[in-house]
Structure 1
Amino acid sequence: MKHPDFAKRFKQAVAHAGVEDTQEALARLFDVSTVTIWSYRNGEKLPRMSTATRIAETLEVSVDWLLTGAGSGPGELGLKEGSNVTQGPRIQGRIPLISWVQAGAFCEAVDLLEPGEAEAWLPCPAAHSDRAYALRVNGDSMTSPYPGQRSYPEGTIIFVDPDKPLTNGCRVIAKINGEVTFKSYAEDMGHIYLRPINPTYSPMEVTGKDISFCGVIIGSYTPE
């Protein structure tokens, strides 16, 4: 499948950024091969999301615009003078929103996804590894009934990083006996527990059980 519109936007962004426009120079700039640069210029393929994010940040365009034509193109990322909107947190990249079944597979071996293999690619303001992903919360076990306590109601988008180390009290995605779950991680007197936030659910002791940790929560977002 050809991607001529992407090739046009790629060339436009390179020209606007004023970087050296040769295959060799662009390959060094974006840390890819010269063959890959040729394929971008000719619309032969789209970059992986991690590469597209790197290219977009370097050329100062939005990754959405680079891949789809939506969002901010060359020279449009800055805020207009006199705007009453303040700059939000810097987007650290976009990560795939995947299913819980896919998250279970990530516990075994994380293979970076291509655009189109995820439900969506979401902006993530938290620093994260290339293996980070997002999930949509199911159920109410991590919903707090108490005001002011951190809570993750059903439908909340959580950002997960498999490379972030476990710490006592962190929120995790874990796989137990083939089932993927979202809980708080706790260590106490040599024992390991997975604890819900909702007090109507019981904590689980997982010491010595067949369990894999699929990542630590690094942020969350609740859609309107």
Structure 2
Amino acid sequence: MEYKDRVKAARKHARLTQVELAKAVGIDQASISDLERGRSGRSSYNASIAKACGVSALWLEKGTGDMIDSSPSEPSNVATIEQPSFRYPVISWVAAGAWAEAVEPFPPGFSDRYEVSDYDSKGVAFWLEVKGDSMTSPVGTSITEGMMILVDTEADATSGKLVVAKLADSNEATFKKLVEDGGRRFLKPLNPAYPVEMCAEGCRIVGVVVRAMMKL
């Protein structure tokens, strides 16, 4: 049984629709559909899917053991520690560029898509889907096109951090590495094929990238 088949079997076991499972996990229905059709590989929400369906996470991930975990349950006096999760909206690059100018960054109905993370943001935070290959590096840290990045607008933007900024002559935000040299700020792509840009007058740091993940 392939991973896609185990996801569907787990959902059927729990008697959940794709919409109900997606809501329980904190992702959209299309992501569940892609997993069950094999359009997406292993999900970073594997443990959450297993928990929502009442099946073994190890079985769901690797097909190892029984679908239903038959190991003895924990004594009632042992507390279960759950990983905290926080929901953040997925917005466009244009919206990210205009964020600092908005009186109310995220009015009701601003985004109909949310993704979750274990990161507890210091300020307003949002997800962006990476466009282009300017941050794809042949060595070290590499953020490829299609990945999701979580941006915290109140995190400290220090030299060496990956940031989302808005240049004075652009309506959209840009994603680069912040570098300070001689009292000046530069926006450096991780892909050496792209030029370094100066973060001069009119350039604003929208926020710091605190998480990156593959899109489901």
> What is the distance in 2 between the residues matched to 1:66 and 1:221?
16
Find the residue that maps to 1:217 and give its secondary structure: strand
Whether contact under 8 Å (1:156, 1:223) holds in the other structure is: yes
Structure 1 residue 212, shift from structure 2 partner = 1.1
The residue that corresponds to 1:84 in the other structure is 58
Q: Give the direction of change, closer, same or farther, for the CA distance of 1:81–1:134 in structure 2 (3 Å limit).
A: closer
Q: Give yes or no for the alignment of 1:213 onto 2:169.
A: no
Find the residue that maps to 1:84 and give its secondary structure: helix
Q: Which runs of 4+ in 1 moved over 4 A?
A: 65-68, 76-83, 85-89
Whether contact under 8 Å (2:185, 2:198) holds in the other structure is: yes
Structure 1 residue 206, shift from structure 2 partner = 2.1
Structure 1 residue 221, shift from structure 2 partner = 0.9
TM-score scaled to structure 1, two decimals? 0.58
Structure 1 residue 118, shift from structure 2 partner = 1.3
The residue that corresponds to 1:118 in the other structure is 111
- Picking from 48, 57, 64, the partner of 2:23 is 64
> What is the distance in 2 between the residues matched to 1:107 and 1:141?
24
Q: Give the direction of change, closer, same or farther, for the CA distance of 1:66–1:204 in structure 2 (3 Å limit).
A: closer
Q: Give yes or no for the alignment of 1:107 onto 2:95.
A: no
> What is the distance in 2 between the residues matched to 1:205 and 1:116?
35
Give % identity.
Answer: 31
Find the residue that maps to 1:174 and give its secondary structure: strand
Structure 1 residue 117, shift from structure 2 partner = 2.5
> What is the distance in 2 between the residues matched to 1:175 and 1:218?
18
Q: Give the direction of change, closer, same or farther, for the CA distance of 1:108–1:88 in structure 2 (3 Å limit).
A: farther
Q: Give the direction of change, closer, same or farther, for the CA distance of 1:196–1:109 in structure 2 (3 Å limit).
A: same
The residue that corresponds to 1:13 in the other structure is none
Residue identity opposite 2:152 in structure 1: D
Structure 1 residue 111, shift from structure 2 partner = 2.5
Contiguous gaps of at least 5 residues in structure 2: 1-20, 33-49, 62-79
Whether contact under 8 Å (1:134, 1:159) holds in the other structure is: yes
Q: Give the direction of change, closer, same or farther, for the CA distance of 1:81–1:164 in structure 2 (3 Å limit).
A: same
> What is the distance in 1 between the residues matched to 2:204 and 2:82?
32
Q: Give the direction of change, closer, same or farther, for the CA distance of 1:82–1:221 in structure 2 (3 Å limit).
A: closer
The residue that corresponds to 1:10 in the other structure is none
> What is the distance in 2 between the residues matched to 1:165 and 1:97?
21
> What is the distance in 2 between the residues matched to 1:81 and 1:106?
41
Structure 1 residue 112, shift from structure 2 partner = 4.9
Contiguous gaps of at least 5 residues in structure 1: 1-61
- Picking from 65, 81, 88, the partner of 1:95 is 88
Q: Give yes or no for the alignment of 1:170 onto 2:144.
A: no
Q: Give yes or no for the alignment of 1:195 onto 2:154.
A: no
Q: Give the direction of change, closer, same or farther, for the CA distance of 1:67–1:216 in structure 2 (3 Å limit).
A: closer
Farther off after superposition, 86-95 or 173-182: 86-95
Structure 1 residue 175, shift from structure 2 partner = 0.6
Structure 1 residue 88, shift from structure 2 partner = 10
